[in-house]
């Protein structure tokens, strides 16, 4: 599944405004772009770098450089322009899922940024699976069987990634 991962800090004192803007305007606007399927926002529970993580899922990786999205990036709303300075240390990149555990959409996420191309995806999936907490699923609820037989037996409940993602053409946070 292609997704766009975004990390950002937020200037203190803008939390309420961000919550209103993101819920009322920004998320519906992004999901109105053809190809966007879902969006979620996560906030860190502890102080640290990149307090916010946003995940947008799409039908295709090219959604993240589509004319519809570029038009929105090039013409932000007044509310977006007002809030944009409060978003700092912004990172964004289109990605592909390497592994996914379970069948539900969780209320928590572990986002791992990989700075280079992964040539051995099956091996990387194995290493990520071995690093996942032992209690990553309820024993009475089996994990979804693999969607491909290309994975080694140790990574049977991992789903492989597609080829590496291109870099997004815009660097602006909105």
Could you report the per-residue pLDDT of 124-134, keeping only the tens digit for each? Answer: 777 777 776 65
Output the pLDDT for position 39: 93
Output the pLDDT for position 83: 94
Instruction: Please name which of 151, 37, 159 lies closest in space to residue 101, comparing C-alpha atoms.
Output: 159
For the domain bounded by 2-155, which CATH number is listed?
A: 3.30.70.100
Residues contacting residue 172 through CB under 8 Å, at least 6 positions apart: 73, 84
Checking if the pLDDT of 164 tops 60, the result is no
Neighbours of 7 (CB within 10 A): 18
Is the Cβ–Cβ distance between 154 and 129 less than 8 Å?
yes
Output the pLDDT for position 152: 33
For residue 51, name the pLDDT band (cuts at 50, 70, 90): confident
Checking if the pLDDT of 82 tops 80, the result is yes
* 35/161 Cα distance (integer angstroms): 19
Output the pLDDT for position 79: 96
Checking if the pLDDT of 123 tops 50, the result is yes
Output the pLDDT for position 21: 96
């Amino acid at each position: 599944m292609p997704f766009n991962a975004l990390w950002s800090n937020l200037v203190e004192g803008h939390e309420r405004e961000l919550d209103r803007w993101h819920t009322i305007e920004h998320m519906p606007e992004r999901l109105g772009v053809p190809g966007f399927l879902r969006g979620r926002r996560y906030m860190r529970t502890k102080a640290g770098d990149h307090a916010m993580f946003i995940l947008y899922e799409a039908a295709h990786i090219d959604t993240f450089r589509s004319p519809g999205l570029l038009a929105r990036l090039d013409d932000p709303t007044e509310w977006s322009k007002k809030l944009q300075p409060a978003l700092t240390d912004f990172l964004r990149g289109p990605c592909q899922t390497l592994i996914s555990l379970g069948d539900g959409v969780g209320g928590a996420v572990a986002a791992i940024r990989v700075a280079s191309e992964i040539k051995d995806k099956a091996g990387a999936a194995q290493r990520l699976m071995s690093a996942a907490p032992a209690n990553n699923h309820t024993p009475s609820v089996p994990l979804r069987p693999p969607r491909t037989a290309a994975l080694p037996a140790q990574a049977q409940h991992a789903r492989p990634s597609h080829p590496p993602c291109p870099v997004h053409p815009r660097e602006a946070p909105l």
